[in-house]
Amino acid sequence: MAEEFTGSGDPGRSIALLWSLPGPARRGPKPRHTVEDVVRAAIALADAEGLSALSMRRVAEALGLSPMSLYTYVPSKAELVDLMLDRVAGEDQTPDPANGWRARLEQIARQHWSRAQRHPWILQVGTHRPPLGPNVLARVESTLCAIDGLGLTEMEMDQVTSVVSDYVRGAVRAALDAREIEKQTGMTDEQWWAMNTPLLQGLVDPARYPTTVRMGEAYKSGQMPGPDPERNFEFGLQRVLDGLATFVENTRRPA
């Protein structure tokens, strides 16, 4: 479940901060920091300790500010999370338009995968109402452009991009769960299976679980490699794109 949701702050303040619109003139000395400094400090904190550690107080401490001073830059945590999501979205590269639609979607999907490895906290943020900032919208634009001109309707384009996005988010979630449980237990998946396999001796009836037992034997004999979330991600991505290629071919209309 998400710990935070984008789009839950004050819309006017969020849009102004996301697009760097000038605010009212301030009296007094020049501010020590910028909004960008605040966003970078918040991302660093979330990268290191997770979203649960993110608070206005902690970000203020990282910048050497009082919590009340931080509110003069960003009005609340809700707007800060929007800014963080838009900031990391800007790390992606725009796919080369000379490549085919499939190669462009592959690049977009792999960039999402890599971004989540760098910033695992993004999976703890619900983005049903996304931050309407320049970087998020640029990512949306590049994804739609990847399949523009294929003869799909606007509704079909939206559904195709949603299929890829939903697949990647699920695959990333599985990979990050695997990484987190290894971190919490200090035990790899291989070690966990080695510990549990002897305990199942005599309990797992091959007649009742024949396929499961066969898979286990293949793993133990080395015929099947151990768990690899990135390998699974790549396999699933290609199967999703295979299905979309069939869909595109069957529904292609004159441009």
> 51: domain CATH number?
1.10.10.60
Q: Are residues 186 and 112 in the same domain?
A: yes
Q: Are residues 168 and 225 in the same domain?
A: yes
Q: Is 64 helix (H, G, I), strand (E, B) or coil?
A: coil
Q: Are residues 72 and 113 in the same domain?
A: no
Q: Are residues 178 and 232 in the same domain?
A: yes
> 158: domain CATH number?
1.10.357.10
Q: Are residues 10 and 50 in the same domain?
A: yes
> Over the stretch 30-82, which tens digit does the pLDDT of each residue have?
788 999 999 999 999 999 999 999 999 999 999 999 999 999 999 999 999 99
For residue 185, CA distances in Å to 53, 90, 119, 197, 229 come to 20, 34, 21, 18, 18
Q: Is the pTM of this model over 0.95?
A: no
Q: Are residues 23 and 55 in the same domain?
A: yes
Domain end (from 89, 124, 142):
89
* In-domain check, residue 94: no
Q: Are residues 247 and 137 in the same domain?
A: yes
Number of folded domains in the chain?
A: 2
For residue 152, give the nearest of 41, 248, 28 by alpha carbon. 248
Of the CA atoms within 13 Å of residue 240, those in its CB half-sphere come to: 23
> Over the stretch 154-204, which tens digit does the pLDDT of each residue have?
999 999 999 999 999 999 999 999 999 999 999 999 899 889 999 999 999
Burial 128-162 (b: 16+ CB within 10 A, else e): eebbbbebbeebeebbeebbeebebeeebbeebbe
Contact assessment for residue 38 and residue 59, using Cβ atoms and an 8 Å cutoff: yes
Q: Are residues 123 and 234 in the same domain?
A: yes
Determine the structural domain holding residue 231 and report its residue range. Answer: 101-251
